[in-house]
Structures are given as structure tokens and as C-alpha cells.
Amino acid sequence: MASSRSGLELVKAVVAHALKNRCYGKFLNNVNFISAGDGQCKAEFIVADEHLNSHGTLHGGCTSTIIDCVSTYALMTNAKALPGVSVDLHVTFLKSAFPGDTIVVDAKTIKCGRKLAFLEVELVKKKDGIIIARGQHTKFIGA
């Protein structure tokens, strides 16, 4: 998506719009976007009560939503791509995250073709670099 704004400004504007419109975007209220551009996006958040499952760890649905959103924002910073719609979202859960853990989310556009984009995301604990989840996201980006 071509824009005169930097990738990070674009991502922050999209999130602000989602927060204002009372959709799932409220989920991103406490996500801090660190960098974005050239098909990549990096963010972090602190695991809080609203992110937890009944076992007191980061909920898989929360992890999946973060992967979906942050990889889409990465794609939007690629000059050739629109946000598109999800075709496939695959998440591998490797370790648990607990309240108070700071999680770094790193999303990258692997390939952006005419109709499909392929993205990868890693969620790691900031304090020790332990990978808690990996995601692969395929998006249809037709006009």
C-alpha cells in the first residue's frame, strides 16, 4: 500500500482507526508498535489478564489474533500490497507465556505475488528470547 507516511505511522493510524471503531482492534490497545516498513512489522505487549486462558497463560486465540493483525500490518507496509483477506492461518504453540511477560512480535512478508502474500511471524519472550509461538499467514490480495 503506497503511502507518503512511514510504515510505522501507517500501522499506528490503522490501529487507531480500529480502536476508534469498537471492533476487535481494542485487543491491540496495549500493543506497542516498534517498527514497520518494507513488508515487516515489529511490536511488543505485556501479557495481562485480558490475554489469559483458564489456565492463567496466554490464550491461543489471543496469540492467533496477534499473528493475524501484525502480519497484516507488515503486508500493508509493502508497496505492492493491500491488506487483503486471510486464506490460511497456521499457528504453532511452542511455550507458555504468563502474566507480566513482555512478548515481542516480529512479522515478515516472505513473498508478495499478484494474488497471494505469504507471511511469517514469531512471538518471543523479551527477557530470554524463548520462542512461544510461530505463525504462517497466507493472504489473498487481489484488487
Strands lying side by side in the sheet with 32-37? 32-37, 40-46, 102-112, 116-125, 131-140, 85-93
Interatomic CA distance for residues 32 and 45, integer angstroms: 6
User: What span, in angstroms and rounded, lies between the C-alpha atoms of 52 and 9?
Assistant: 29
> What are the pLDDT digits (tens) for 109-119?
999 988 999 99
- Tens-place pLDDT, residues 36-59: 999 999 999 999 998 999 999 999
CATH of the domain at 132: 3.10.129.10
Is 38 inside a domain boundary?
Answer: yes
**Which domain covers residue 115, as residue numbers?**
7-140
Counting the structural domains of the chain, the total is 1
**pTM across the whole model:** 0.86
The answer to whether residue 82 is domain-embedded is yes
- Report if residue 104 sits inside a domain: yes
**How many Å apart are CA 139 and CA 83, to the nearest integer?**
8
Residue 98 lies in a domain: yes
Element (H, E) at 116: strand 116-125
For residue 76, tell me if it sits in a domain. Answer: yes
